[in-house]
Amino acid sequence: MAHQDRVPADEPGWRHPPFAAEISDDGDGRLLWGRGTIDDTGALAGLLEAVEAALADGIAPRHDVLLAFGHDEEVGGTGGRAIAEAVRERFGVPAFVLDEGGAIVRGVFPGVAAPLAVIGVSEKGIASVELTVEQRGGHASTPPKQTATERLAAAIVRLGRRPARATLPAPVLGLLEGMAPHASGALGAVLRRARLLRPFLPALLARSGDQTAAMVRTTRAVTRLSGSAADNVLAERARAIVNVRVSVDDTLAGAVDDIRRAIGDDGVAVRLVEGSEPSPVSPASGAAWDAIVAALASERPDVVPVPYVQNGATDSRWFARYCPHVYRFTPFEITAEQLATLHAIDENIGVDAWLEGVRILSALVRSL
């Protein structure tokens, strides 16, 4: 799978025009510049390249190989949903699904020198939760003891002070154990005892940084706020939107209840606007996992495959509803700087990394 659409590229400041596919070479290797090179046109073109080359070589896979390219992944994924339903109707349950997600990365975890292939085995749920305080308005010159906006602000502060419970979801434990043999120093010592230290790891990871905290709990971020429309008018309705990412150990309803409990004020209405449950977890073992890992190893035996839970949503979530083997991984080596260009200016990918990824996809297609 891959998606054909891309986020806009309207921001000024691109070093190379976003739709010219220019290749530069400043000595550190060739780079291909453009919107979609990482997300997700690079994978789309790579998959087509791998399949066309296999056809040209007269390869006839033993199994059906379906190519599924949604057209609106970045704005809801109705295409991905329709494709998943059509596949189920016409072909039944696929042996596995491979979509965008993790990549080959280095230096993401301090103390882990080996390059990692982070393969998404699930994705967190996502929800928009609305907090509203309604109160009689009036003139700002004679305010009540607590205005609607102040009551909402107090609720938001309480929410921040009471984060959701930290747990160690099974794929996160798998990630830690997979990295353990390749980690040095204090981190290595902890990771090698991950199973033993399991009761303490959630709290430790929750404290270690924003990235690791997001791995062990449902996260909440207040993204939108609104109050009154004028400087001298008291708000009759103060409103906040909380963007929630639901841990695979949690549920949508559970996450909303936790928010209500953390706020602990009946005067603040808590309402789920929209949301989706976290995806079921696919196993980091078995025939499908092994096929992906074998294709990777044929080109990059130095890369360590590890499972992980994605924070963002992909089109493959529609398959995850009925297919137990859904993996989110594009086999391109991406640097931290390149990752930062995702959905931003200067999106680019290494030409060699892309060609290597095509060879990995090609090995996978030929093994099916």
Q: Which residues bind Zn ion (CB under 5 A)?
A: 39-40, 100
Q: Which two tokens stand for residue 104?
A: 């080959």
Q: Phi first, then psi: what are they for 254, rounded to 5°? A: -60, -40
Cα gap 100→290, rounded to integer Å: 18
Report the residue count for the chain. 368
Q: Which two tokens stand for residue 91?
A: 């072909």
Q: Which is nearer to Zn ion, 100 or 299 (CB)?
A: 100
Closest CA to 123 of 282, 343, 256: 282
Rounded least distance, CB 39 to Zn ion, Å: 4
DSSP per-residue codes, 3-42: ES-------S--SS-TTS--EEESSS-EEEESTTTTTTHH
Rounded least distance, CB 317 to Zn ion, Å: 12
Q: Which is nearer to Zn ion, 100 or 123 (CB)?
A: 100
DSSP per-residue codes, 226-268: E--SSTTEE-SEEEEEEEEEE-TTS-HHHHHHHHHHHH--TTS
Q: Which two tokens stand for residue 34?
A: 């453009």
Q: Which is nearer to Zn ion, 1 or 175 (CB)?
A: 1
Rounded least distance, CB 265 to Zn ion, Å: 38
Q: Which is nearer to Zn ion, 218 or 310 (CB)?
A: 310
Q: Which is nearer to Zn ion, 44 or 54 (CB)?
A: 44
Rounded least distance, CB 122 to Zn ion, Å: 17
| Paired sense of beta strands 304-310 and 23-25, if any | unpaired
Rounded least distance, CB 41 to Zn ion, Å: 9
Cα gap 223→123, rounded to integer Å: 21
Q: Which is nearer to Zn ion, 100 or 277 (CB)?
A: 100
